[in-house]
Amino acid sequence: MAAWTKEASLTDARSNQACGVLRLGHSHESKVVIVAGGTRDDSYLTGSVEMLSVEDGTFGSNWQTGPTMPVATRDSASVVSTDQSSFFIIGGITNQGDASVSAKLFKMQCPTSSFDQCYWTNIGHEMRASTAKGMALAFPPDPLDTMRLPNSRPCIDGNYCCPTYTIICCGK
């Protein structure tokens, strides 16, 4: 059994953050661990993003600053697209005092292998209900074209809907 190894510490200690692994650039040549948002030790809500390179299973020596989140958020769900080119933040708590829960969806992408080229986009759609401490799963671009879920039925647009499942599709 492999032992745990201590790697580089975050620049800003935090809890309730979102995290994932993203591939950078058009050819996805490099991989980074992303830690976004959360609550700092002083209970301050943060929108800071830190990124750590991972090359051939070896972690970089220092966390680097990534693009600041559009809205400081904690307790959001996060998911990386199946091709690892996009990192999504879904919902979360966005205000320090009144604990406002969000329904917004944000996407981070990195078109080159340089961290300073990474950017956030507001997807422009919101979930039907605000959520915090949620969970998200990535599905292939057309999951229902390759499999049929139980109790599915054709929808108006030709895709299949399943009344017992909720699937958030981003992109396309």
Which residue in this structure is represented by tokens 């809205």? 71
pLDDT, tens only, 10-25: 999 999 999 998 888 7
Given this model, what pLDDT does residue 167 score? 36
Given this model, what pLDDT does residue 16 score? 93
Q: Which residues pair with 39 in a beta bridge?
A: 15, 45
Residue 68 has pLDDT above 60, yes or no: yes
Whole-number average pLDDT of the chain: 76
DSSP 74: B
**Domains in the chain and their CATH numbers?**
14-136 (2.120.10.80), 139-172 (no CATH)
Instruction: Name which residue leads in pLDDT, 157 or 93.
Output: 93
DSSP 158: S
pLDDT, tens only, 75-89: 998 888 878 888 989
Highest mean predicted confidence (pLDDT) among 2-6, 23-27, 64-68 = 64-68
pLDDT, tens only, 147-163: 444 444 444 444 433 33
Residue 172 has pLDDT above 50, yes or no: no
Instruction: Pull the structure tokens for residue 163.
Output: 């009344």
> Residue 117 CA to chain centroid, in angstroms?
17
Residue 61 has pLDDT above 90, yes or no: no
Residue 50 has pLDDT above 80, yes or no: yes
| Whole-number Cα distances in Å, 111 to 49, 54, 101, 161 | 17, 17, 30, 33
State how far the Cα of 172 lies from the Cα of 156, in Å rounded to an integer: 17
pLDDT, tens only, 109-151: 988 888 888 999 998 777 777 777 777 766 665 444 444 444 4
Which residues, in sequence order, are CB contacts of 154 under 8 Å at separation 6+? 160, 161
Where is 1: in which H helix or E strand? none
Given this model, what pLDDT does residue 25 score? 75
